[in-house]
Structure 1
Amino acid sequence: MSLKPTDYPRPPQDTGRGIHWSAIPYHGKALSDIDFWLGELKAMGFTWVKLLDDGGGSSLELCKVLLENGIMPVVRLYRYQPNPGHIGGREDQTVGKLVEIGVRYFETNNEPNLAVEWKDGRIPPDWMKIVAENFIIDANIVTKHGGIILMPAMSPGSQFRKYLETFKEAGADEFFSSGKAAIAHHNYWGNHPLNYPYDEVNQKEHPGATVFEDSYCWLSWYALLEDFRKVFGYYVPVLETEGGLWPGQRDDNRYPETTPESMAEQLTFVAKFMQGDEKVVLPDGTELSVLKEPGTYYFCTGWWLIANELMGHTDTAWSSHAWYQLDKHLPVVDALKALGSHPRKEGVPEEEVEPEPQPEVEPTPTLQWDPRLDDLGVKLVKGDVSKPRFALVEARWYDEQESQGRHHIFVEVIKDGKRALDQQVAFGWPDNCYVKGLSPTGKYAADFPMYAPIGTIGAGPYWVKVFTAESDKVEGLGLGTPETPHLAIHTSFSLKFQWVEAEGAPPPPKPEELAQTLWETAKASASPHGLIMPLNKEAPTFKVAQEQGLGFRLSPEVEFTFKDKKYLGQIFEQGYVIFEVPKWDEPIILPREEGSPHPWETL
């Protein structure tokens, strides 16, 4: 069987935007400046990072930091000239430690079609068979810990079909079909335009050329996915672990040299494509988008190279490739920061979605709880019930069939009979959360895609609450079923929060009761000297009486208690003025019947 794209691990706020860390497996220099680098990664919208490990855990601390900040590491277990060969006991232990902290994707080989990656610099005639058989050995080691192994990426411009057929003959289908393996891809394209080889210049020289014959282009990911489907019968994710371009390239003299500005322009387009904001239409009418197959399996970029010397690499071979250099950074940095980012879109494009009516308002806050939630381990944690709050009034789970491909938490928030557009919802997971405003239209006020199974961390990785007010909190949400809590099966939740008054609070007192208590308190403290009383023009009761024209004072300001609450009141010729302390902007005014006695007259 094959799996859906959403069955594979991805970062919480996946933008599809990834970058290659330094070209060395030691990260002490980068960790010493990690606050700076994390700030830059987030500002540019990166949620994936490819990095190297020396096979003994040299990346462990860096991976922890990245994961804590919602960034998915892809780890290459670096071996010098790894062919022919496979990983061993040292890497076995390291994979176990990395998987334990949350790393999932691993590379164990690199560009095996190049002589530089072979011992003695010589490629044997049956190199594909040797690489595929060693891949099976590596796969057994990586996957026994719960990791996902990546098929070794070849160098840019390679043809994929025979390579893939050799892996299938070696038995790789066992790992690909079960979600234990995916594809690494080195997607460089030199100074070619993004629509190469379909562009006008190339087509004039090579009429009818397609990406399947000439894959030295950005669109090579499409050729790789389609060739994989033709060989294996299904798709698996493609993760770019190197790729992009850098200033000064002119591999093809038919096109201008890559400049810092053209680099920024092209990568900005790809960034928008990866989060679902752009699409490409080929000459035969094929539409490529991350919103539809096979683009849904195009997981991330892996652009080369964030830094060289600034991350401790002393070899200057890559200095001009680095985005951050000793004396400057390339324009692509500012371009991506200016672009911004958002989580990768899922499903069909927005323009194809039927507008849906606003939900009906539930007239009562009685909780409607889907009993299947108990089987999943979902829990309701009430907010402070002594205060007004957004209470959970409805919670429902949708199984795989009911979800119809969706894998989201859908939320509605109601106050005063309508959607509370001034509020925000927090969707959280361990050590982080994403705060989202409410939409004025649509069936739900907010939604959030889930990628982790419910059994990933204890009772589940996700929680939800209204962020901007006192609120109940729902914990233990995630993909999967009660029977398969560790599988990322497409399931969904809908939650509805409604504003309610404090539970158990007494009903507000009737004004008549307050006036009677004020009268009795004033009578008990009345002066035997009659109406001689001090005048306090700053008293809130006196100010309100003057504004309302309530006439002469018939009592001083009187403090009294009614049902455990403190009040300040005063009696005037034509009415009572009362405040609950300290609500000085909420006066309670009650008319006084003409001719009725005041406290002094009853002495």
Structure 2
Amino acid sequence: MGEPLAVPLVTPSSASGPNALADSSRALGSADGAPSFSSQLAEAVSAFSRRQSQTAFLLSQTVAESRELPTIDEQQRLLVSRNAAMGYCFVAPQTAAVPAPALQTVPARPKPQAQRPDPGTTTSKVDEADLNADDVAPLAIEQFPRPANDNGRGVHWVPTTSSRPEVVDELVSKAVQMGMKWVVFLNDGASIGANDYLVQRLTANGIMPVLRVYTNGLQPITGDLEAMVRHYKSLGVSYFQLYNEPNLKVETGGQQPDVKRYLDLWIPAAKQVIAAGGLPGIGALSPQGDVDDRQFLAETLAELQARGETRLLNRTWLAVHNYTGPRDFTDPDGFLRYRQYDAIIRSILGHSLPMVGTEGGTQLGPGVTEEKQVQLMTQAYRYMESHPDPYNFAYTYWIIANEAGGGKDPAFSQHALIRPDGPTALAQALTRLA
């Protein structure tokens, strides 16, 4: 596995109050006159040539059993360059997927059955009385569930909302070979059943499933969200990501991203997730958003305070999209971007929130060769294995497969670890690393 890599720490302010965020920003600068945090905000949008908004538009595609989803306007797509994958795809040694010890989960508390909305209607807000003190009692970071023998290594599933059993069997086996302990997958709104087999195979192999509730942008979640959470909680899912990259116009129907509009949807959904025993995810911000991700995060936390809803954060985790582009491993705006988020969170709340990567990684493209991709990804995964930042649970590569798993959009072909002609060089390197 190699020795843990040394990375310079960013020490955020643990103070609170009106000047805390400014103090945190200064802490992220350097003593030798390097650009300040505020100036980095101004240049962040243009820092990469690639804008990481894949899942905002990805589900115009389906597999045979998948539900048909709305197609995002092609003019809104923020596509990356499409480099052909040639000359390095070989069959990796086969390793059997072996069940691992049970996941360490927090059991859902039994609750009286409340009247739920009709499945064909939008979800209604969970009243304040529906969340009691036990529901929102603070969880220490070490109490949040993690897989047995956790190494912080994650991967995003195929960009569809369901997969055939033979696809699940094949790709879960590949995930085990690559040492993955976290897998993020997409569920069509509050629907139940399409991902049961996937979750069962993941948990049987000691992998922590993370469910992203897929919606077509910032729309109310239709159906019975509580029932869906209870169902998948019973199968081993604790983490439920609500909404995706709300700092992008492509996710807001072309409107300027707005924290208040986002929280109008997130808060009632989060209450339902918590009431059903789940842990809601917030954030999932694009590092190249129309509104800077760090600004959007700070405003989100401040608005939750203004609305008196910070108790929800006792059971909430931050979804992270720390894509790197060609940036070096130690660059604070690449893999280590989560530390800037933590500095902001601590400056406002006075403590850290758990973080789970739900997208990320180093993709082939301008400035990123196959060799550099392997180098950066193996560095990051080795670093995660040493658990240097206890609040940061997983680093998640986008994606395990596209066409090989039923994905239809060729825009994602070059991102896939497993392709129709075999595993990529990166997939083979991760298998060796495992």
For Structure 1 versus Structure 2, the TM-score category normalised by the shorter chain is 0.5 to 0.7
Whether 2:383 is the aligned partner of 1:273: answer yes
Helix, strand or coil at the partner of 1:73? strand
**What amino acid is aligned across from residue 189 of structure 1 in structure 2?**
T
Query: Aligned partners of 1:332 and 1:4: how far apart in 2?
Result: 35
Matches of residues 482-561 of structure 1 in structure 2 within 5 Å? none
**What residue in structure 2 maps to residue 264 of structure 1?**
374
Whether 2:32 is the aligned partner of 1:32: answer no
Alpha-carbon displacement from aligned partner over 1:84-138 (angstroms, at most 9, x marks no partner): x33243333211210111210001200011111123x2226xx101112321101
**What residue in structure 2 maps to residue 246 of structure 1?**
363
**What amino acid is aligned across from residue 330 of structure 2 in structure 1?**
N
**What amino acid is aligned across from residue 244 of structure 2 in structure 1?**
N
- Structure in which a larger fraction of residues adopt helix: 2
**What residue in structure 2 maps to residue 79 of structure 1?**
215
Query: Aligned partners of 2:323 and 2:226: how far apart in 1?
Result: 31
Whether 2:259 is the aligned partner of 1:123: answer no
**What amino acid is aligned across from residue 45 of structure 1 in structure 2?**
G
Helix, strand or coil at the partner of 2:224? helix
Equivalent residues, number: 290
**What residue in structure 1 maps to residue 157 of structure 2?**
21
**What amino acid is aligned across from residue 122 of structure 1 in structure 2?**
Q
**What residue in structure 2 maps to residue 233 of structure 1?**
350
Q: Is the 8 A contact 1:77 1:91 kept in 2?
A: no
Matches of residues 543-582 of structure 1 in structure 2 within 5 Å? none
Alpha-carbon displacement from aligned partner over 1:403-430 (angstroms, at most 9, x marks no partner): xxxxxxxxxxxxxxxxxxxxxxxxxxxx
Helix, strand or coil at the partner of 1:301? strand
**What residue in structure 2 maps to residue 439 of structure 1?**
none
Alpha-carbon deviation of 1:2?
A: 5.2
Query: Aligned partners of 2:372 and 2:250: how far apart in 1?
Result: 31
**What residue in structure 2 maps to residue 391 of structure 1?**
none
Q: Is the 8 A contact 2:209 2:236 kept in 1?
A: no
Query: Aligned partners of 2:145 and 2:223: how far apart in 1?
Result: 26
**What amino acid is aligned across from residue 296 of structure 1 in structure 2?**
P
**What amino acid is aligned across from residue 260 of structure 1 in structure 2?**
E
- TM-score normalised by the chain length of structure 2: 0.64
Q: Is the 8 A contact 2:213 2:240 kept in 1?
A: yes
Query: Aligned partners of 2:172 and 2:407: how far apart in 1?
Result: 19
Q: Is the 8 A contact 1:235 1:297 kept in 2?
A: yes
Helix, strand or coil at the partner of 1:25? coil
Matches of residues 47-446 of structure 1 in structure 2 within 5 Å? 47-55=181-189, 56-57=191-192, 58-81=194-217, 83=218, 85-119=219-253, 121-123=254-256, 127-157=258-288, 158-159=293-294, 160-177=297-314, 180-196=315-331, 211=332, 215=333, 217-248=334-365, 250=366, 257-276=367-386, 290-291=387-388, 295-340=389-434
Alpha-carbon deviation of 1:12?
A: 1.5
Helix, strand or coil at the partner of 1:174? helix
Query: Aligned partners of 1:86 and 1:92: how far apart in 2?
Result: 14
Alpha-carbon deviation of 1:42?
A: 1.4
**What amino acid is aligned across from residue 268 of structure 1 in structure 2?**
T
Alpha-carbon deviation of 1:64?
A: 1.6
Query: Aligned partners of 2:281 and 2:226: how far apart in 1?
Result: 16
**What residue in structure 2 maps to residue 456 of structure 1?**
none
Alpha-carbon displacement from aligned partner over 1:159-183 (angstroms, at most 9, x marks no partner): 2323332233334421223xx1111
Query: Aligned partners of 1:138 and 1:104: how far apart in 2?
Result: 15
- Structure in which a larger fraction of residues adopt strand: 1
Helix, strand or coil at the partner of 1:302? strand
Helix, strand or coil at the partner of 1:317? helix
**What residue in structure 2 maps to residue 392 of structure 1?**
none
Query: Aligned partners of 2:154 and 2:373: how far apart in 1?
Result: 16
Query: Aligned partners of 2:371 and 2:245: how far apart in 1?
Result: 29
Query: Aligned partners of 2:326 and 2:415: how far apart in 1?
Result: 14
Query: Aligned partners of 2:159 and 2:234: how far apart in 1?
Result: 25
- 5+ residue gaps in structure 1? 197-210, 251-256, 277-289, 341-603
- TM-score normalised by the chain length of structure 1: 0.46
When residues 146 and 188 of structure 1 are mapped into structure 2, their CA distance, relative to the original with a 3 A threshold, is same
Matches of residues 464-483 of structure 1 in structure 2 within 5 Å? none
Query: Aligned partners of 2:349 and 2:433: how far apart in 1?
Result: 38
Identity %: 31
Helix, strand or coil at the partner of 1:92? helix
When residues 134 and 33 of structure 1 are mapped into structure 2, their CA distance, relative to the original with a 3 A threshold, is closer
Query: Aligned partners of 1:134 and 1:184: how far apart in 2?
Result: 16
Query: Aligned partners of 1:123 and 1:98: how far apart in 2?
Result: 34
**What amino acid is aligned across from residue 241 of structure 1 in structure 2?**
T
When residues 78 and 270 of structure 1 are mapped into structure 2, their CA distance, relative to the original with a 3 A threshold, is same
Q: Is the 8 A contact 1:2 1:234 kept in 2?
A: no
Query: Aligned partners of 1:9 and 1:3: how far apart in 2?
Result: 10
**What amino acid is aligned across from residue 240 of structure 1 in structure 2?**
G
Alpha-carbon displacement from aligned partner over 1:195-231 (angstroms, at most 9, x marks no partner): 22xxxxxxxxxxxxxx4xxx3x111111111111111
Q: Is the 8 A contact 2:169 2:201 kept in 1?
A: no
Helix, strand or coil at the partner of 2:312? helix
**What amino acid is aligned across from residue 23 of structure 1 in structure 2?**
P
Alpha-carbon displacement from aligned partner over 1:492-525 (angstroms, at most 9, x marks no partner): xxxxxxxxxxxxxxxxxxxxxxxxxxxxxxxxxx
Alpha-carbon deviation of 1:59?
A: 1.7
Alpha-carbon displacement from aligned partner over 1:455-486 (angstroms, at most 9, x marks no partner): xxxxxxxxxxxxxxxxxxxxxxxxxxxxxxxx
Q: Is the 8 A contact 1:18 1:302 kept in 2?
A: yes
Query: Aligned partners of 1:170 and 1:321: how far apart in 2?
Result: 40
When residues 172 and 47 of structure 1 are mapped into structure 2, their CA distance, relative to the original with a 3 A threshold, is farther
Alpha-carbon deviation of 1:264?
A: 1.0
Query: Aligned partners of 1:131 and 1:106: how far apart in 2?
Result: 16
Of structures 1 and 2, the one scoring higher in RCO (CA 8 A, sep 6+) is 2
- 5+ residue gaps in structure 2? 1-136
**What amino acid is aligned across from residue 145 of structure 1 in structure 2?**
A
Matches of residues 450-469 of structure 1 in structure 2 within 5 Å? none
